[in-house]
Amino acid sequence: PDTTTISADGQLTIAGKSLRELAHTYGTPLYIYDRSTIINACVAYQQAFTTQYSASSVRFLYASKAYISPHLARLLAEQDLGLDVVSGGEILVAQQAAFPMKHISFHGNNKSEAELELALKLGIGRIILDNWHELERLTRIARQYQQRPQVLLRIAPDVATDTHKYLQTGHAAAKFGFPLQSGEAKAALLRILQEDQLQLVGLHAHSGTLLRETRPYEECLERLLALACAVQQETGWWPEEISPGGGWGIDTAEAQQMPDIALLAQALQRKVEQLQSQLPAAMPMLVLEPGRSIIARAGVALYRIGATKATPGGIHYLFVDGGMADNIRPALYDAQYTAIAPEYMDKDSDQTYCLSGRYCESGDMLIEQVQLPALHEGDLVCLPTSGAYCLPMASNYNLVPRPAVIMIDEEQICIMERRETYDDILRRYPV
Ligand code: LLP
C-alpha cells in the first residue's frame, strides 16, 4: 500500500498502524485494506483519462467481483465510480451501501429470472445481455413489469490475450458474449431494436484480465465501433456508450513493474482520434471496468505461523493459519506472490521457505519458495497485493471460518467483514 512505512524497531506499518498490533487486536488471518491506496487508484484513473478525454465522455465502473463490501461500495461512490456487478448478491451489497443504482451495470452469462427481476425492481442502470436466452428472458420480464430497461450487448470480440488460459475471456471460443464473426452479434442488435422492449444504449466487450499491453483494448474498441457503424447504416441506431471492459494489470511477483494507467489512456485516445473521422456520429462515451487495478495493491493478507517443518529433502515449511481457502490463486492460476515478515523488517531475508497453508491438501502452498528472515511459531507473515480476487473466491474448505477484513486510514479502522464464526458455518446445516 501507499502508506507503508517501517518503524525504528523494524515493524511494518500501514497508515501508521503496526501489523503486529493489528494482528493482536483483530486476529489472523486478517485482510487489511488501506483506504488511501484505494482512493489514489481511483484518482489515478480519473486523472489519466481526463487529461485525454473530457470528464463527461469517460466513466469508470469498479468491477465488484475483485472484492466488494458495503464500506468499500460507499468509498467508491464518494470517488464517483460506478459499479459492475455480476449477481444478486453483489447487487444487494451495493444496495446495503445505498449505492446509486443507476450507476450500476449488471453483467453475467447466466442471470436468473430472480436476479433480473431484482435488477428491474431496484432500477439498476444497465443490464449487459450476454446471450440469446438472456435477451429473451429480459424482454419477457420487462414486458411483464412494463419497463424498458437500458441494456448493452456483450460481444465476444475474438481478441487474443497473452495470459493464463483461465483468464482469457475475449477469444472466439469464450463463454461470454455474442460472437461477432458468425453475425450473431448483429442479429441480436437488430432483434433488440425491432422489438423495442429494451432500450439499447451501447456495446460491451471484455478481452481478459492482468493485461499489460493496450492492444486488446484497442482491438475491442475497433471491433465494437465497426459493428456499430454497420448497424447504423442499416437502422440509424448509434451507441451512447461503448465499453472495452476491464482487465488492466498490476505489478505481480512475476512482472514487477505496474503498467502505467496513462499508457492505456493514451492508447485509447490515439485509437479514438484515428477512428473518429470514419464514424457517422460523435464518439460514444467510453466506459471502463477496472477491478484488480483499483483494489489489488490496497490489500494485504496477514497470517500467523503456527508450525514449521524441515523435510529430509531440505524443504523448510512455514505453516500459516490461512492458505488456499482464502487465496486459491496460486493453486488455480499458478499466481505468484511475495511474502514479508512484518515484525522483522530490519533483518536479512537469508532463509528459503515454502509458505504453506493449514488446509488438508498438498497443493495448499501460497508460495513455493520465498526468501524471508528466520521465522518461528508465533511470527507473522504478510502477502502484499492480495486485495483482488482472494476473498471473493474464498471458501469454507475444511469448514474453516473465513478471515476478518478491515479498512484503515490514519484516523480510523473499520471492520469491512466480521471474522466468520463456527455458528455462521453450522447455521447452514439442518440437524
Ligand atoms: N469487466 C468484466 C466484464 C469482467 O469479466 C472482469 C473480470 C472485469 C471487468 C474486471 O477485470 P479486472 O480489472 O479485475 O482484471 N479470478 C481471476 C480474475 C477473473 C476476472 C473476471 N472478470 C483472478 O483471480 O485473477
- Is position 431 within any domain? no
Q: What 8-state DSSP symbol labels residue 258?
A: P
- The answer on 330 and 284 residing in a single domain is no
414's enclosing H/E stretch is strand 413-417
Q: Give the whole-angstrom CA distance, residue 163 versus residue 333.
A: 10
Q: State whether 287 and 414 are in the same domain.
A: no
CA distance 293 to 338: 18
Q: Given the DSSP bridges, would you call strands 150-156 and 126-129 parallel, antiparallel or unpaired?
A: parallel
- Kindly report the backbone phi and psi dihedral angles of residue 161, in degrees, each rounded to the nearest multiple of 5, phi listed first: -130, 155
Query: Which pLDDT band, with edges at 50, 70 and 90, does 122 fall under?
Result: very high
Distance CA 294, CA 107 (A): 19
Ligand 1 contact via 389 beta carbon (within 6 Å): yes
* Ligand 1 binding pocket mutation candidate from 289, 294, 390 (most atoms within 8 A of CB): 289
C-alpha span between 352 and 316 (Å, rounded)? 7
pLDDT of residue 317: 98
Rounded Cα distance between 54 and 285, Å, is: 10
Residues 328 and 254 in one domain: no
Last residue of a domain, one of 266, 291, 316: 291
Same domain flag for 318 and 264: no
Q: Is residue 237 part of a domain?
A: yes
Active site residues: 360
Q: Which residues are annotated as a binding site?
A: 247, 289-292, 329, 333, 361, 389
Tell me: do 410 and 370 sit in the same domain. yes
Outline where 197-340 has alpha helix (H): 215-235, 261-276, 292-295, 329-333
Ligand 1 centre and the CA of 10: distance in Å? 36
Report pTM. 0.96
Sequence-distant (≥ 6) Cβ neighbours of residue 280 within 8 angstroms: 229, 232, 233, 238
Is the CB of residue 157 below 6 angstroms from any atom belonging to ligand 1? no
pLDDT at 253 over 70: yes
Ligand 1: which of 42, 107, 209 to mutate, judged by most atoms within 8 Å of the beta carbon?
209
Task: Report CA Rg, the chain.
Answer: 23
Mean pLDDT throughout 241-261?
Answer: 85
Q: What is the pLDDT of residue 246?
A: 87
The verdict on 249 and 126 lying in the same domain is yes
At 70, is the pLDDT very low, low, confident or very high (cuts 50, 70, 90)? very high
User: What CATH number is given to the structural domain containing 155?
Assistant: 3.20.20.10
Tell me, yes or no, whether 44 lies in a domain: no
Establish whether residue 83 lines the binding site of ligand 1, counting it when its CB lies within 6 angstroms of any ligand atom.
Answer: no
Q: Nearest residue CA, atom 16 of ligand 1?
A: 389
Residues placed in the known binding site for substrate? 292, 329, 333, 361, 389
* 340 torsion bin: left (phi>0), alpha (psi -120 to 50), beta (else): beta
Q: Cα–Cα distance between 190 and 126 in angstroms, integer? A: 19
pLDDT for position 2: 95
Ligand 1 centroid distance, CA of 269 (Å): 23
- Helix intervals (H) in 104-214: 113-122, 132-144, 184-195
130 lines ligand 1 (CB under 6 A): no
Whether residue 11 is contained in a domain is answered as: yes
Closest CA to 150 of 105, 118, 117, 188: 105
Task: Please count the structural domains in the chain.
Answer: 2
The domain boundary, picked from 291, 322, 349, lies at 291
Last residue of a domain, one of 229, 258, 291: 291
Angle between helices 70-78 and 35-50 (to 10 degrees): 40
Q: Is ligand 1 within 6 A of the CB of residue 289?
A: yes
The answer, yes or no, to whether residue 19 has pLDDT greater than 80, is yes
Same domain, 201 and 349: no
Q: Pick the atom of ligand 1 nearest to 390's CA.
A: 24
Output the CA 2–ligand 1 centroid distance in Å: 23
Q: Is 82 in the pocket of ligand 1 (CB under 6 A)?
A: no
Is residue 62 one of the residues assigned to a domain?
yes
Q: Which domain holds residue 238?
A: 51-291
CA of 388 to the centre of ligand 1 (A): 9
Instruction: Decide if pLDDT at 258 tops 80.
Output: no
Is the pLDDT assigned to residue 159 strictly greater than 90? no
Same domain? For 342 and 416 the reply is yes
For residue 372, being part of any structural domain is answered with: yes
279 and 326 share a domain?
no
Question: What is the rounded distance in angstroms from the CA atom of residue 366 to the CA atom of residue 337?
Answer: 7
Q: Are 372 and 353 in contact (CB under 8 A)?
A: yes
- Confidence class of residue 55 from pLDDT cuts 50, 70 and 90? low
Among candidate residues 356, 402, 380, the one with its CA nearest the CA of residue 303: 380
Q: Are residues 146 and 267 in the same domain?
A: yes
* 361 & 282 share domain: no
Question: Residue 421 is part of a domain; what is its CATH number?
Answer: 2.40.37.10
Cα of 208 vs centre of ligand 1, distance in Å, is 7
Quote the cell numbers at residue 345: 523488517
C-beta 329 within 6 A of ligand 1? yes
Instruction: Give the ipTM.
Output: 0.99
Residue 411 domain-assigned?
yes
Residues 61 and 207 in one domain: yes
